[in-house]
């Protein structure tokens, strides 16, 4: 585990420049591509617009694919300059209230079950989750640390490198990483051609 004190030390030069958060980091990086995995871009429209204004030369791409496809891209990067970090944030206490309120029209039992589950999950996150500030510091560490040299990394919420599991090893050995990457490119190319037509 990388301790929070090590992260503070690593992030000190960034913080000393008077930056208050990750949004400002986007302004420091030029002509970079940020891949956001497994997220619906419509949910992040306001944040995306703000990031595009701050770093107009950066490209933010929402992608849903598998880790093995990124392993393939890294393995075939002749310039050795691509770094993919698949980070698991864990439970993060953001003070954001639950927004999926069940309807009593779906049945009283369903309403009660969902309400109890929301209360329990909210309690777990509040008392066992990581503070949003610490989570942000940990992500800044991943983005700026020399620990994550070009390559494909899976990282836990405590900044520990997660070793490849048997499934990822089997995908790689069977050539699935290349197949998944080719499939992803075909889907994107088809979508871009459709999107370009008036």
pLDDT digits 0-9 by tens, 32-85: 666 665 555 666 667 777 777 767 776 666 654 556 667 777 787 777 777 878
In a domain, 114, yes or no: no
Residue 17: per-residue pLDDT: 60
Residue 130's SS3 state is: strand
Residue 129's SS3 state is: coil
What pTM, to 2 d.p., does this model score? 0.53
In a domain, 110, yes or no: no
Q: Which helix (H) or strand (E) holds 93?
A: strand 92-93
In a domain, 99, yes or no: no
In a domain, 116, yes or no: no
What total of structural domains would you count in the chain?
1
Where the chain has pLDDT below 70, the residues are: 1-45, 54, 58-69, 95-101, 194-198
In a domain, 55, yes or no: yes
The whole domain housing 138 covers 4-90+129-196
Residue 117: per-residue pLDDT: 86
In a domain, 106, yes or no: no
In a domain, 117, yes or no: no
∠ Cα 184 156 21 (to 5°): 90
In a domain, 124, yes or no: no
Helix, strand, coil abundance in the chain, percent, nearest 5: 55, 15, 30
């Amino acid at each position: 585990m990388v301790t929070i004190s090590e992260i503070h030390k690593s992030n000190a030069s960034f913080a000393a420049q008077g930056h208050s958060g990750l949004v400002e980091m986007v302004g420091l990086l030029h002509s970079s591509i940020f891949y956001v995995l497994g997220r619906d871009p419509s949910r992040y429209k306001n944040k995306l617009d703000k990031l595009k204004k701050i770093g107009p030369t950066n490209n933010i791409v929402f992608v849903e694919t598998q880790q093995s496809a990124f392993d393939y891209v890294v393995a075939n990067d002749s310039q050795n300059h691509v770094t993919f970090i698949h980070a698991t944030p864990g439970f993060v206490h953001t003070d954001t209230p639950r927004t999926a309120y069940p309807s009593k029209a779906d049945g009283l039992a369903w309403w009660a079950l969902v309400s109890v589950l929301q209360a329990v999950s909210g309690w777990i996150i509040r008392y066992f989750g990581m503070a949003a500030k610490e989570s942000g510091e940990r992500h800044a560490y991943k983005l700026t640390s020399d620990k994550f040299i070009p390559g494909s990394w899976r990282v836990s919420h405590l900044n520990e490198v997660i070793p490849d599991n048997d499934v990822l090893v089997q995908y790689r050995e069977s050539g699935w990483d290349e197949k998944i990457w080719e499939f992803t490119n075909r889907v994107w190319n088809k979508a871009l051609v459709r999107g370009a037509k008036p």
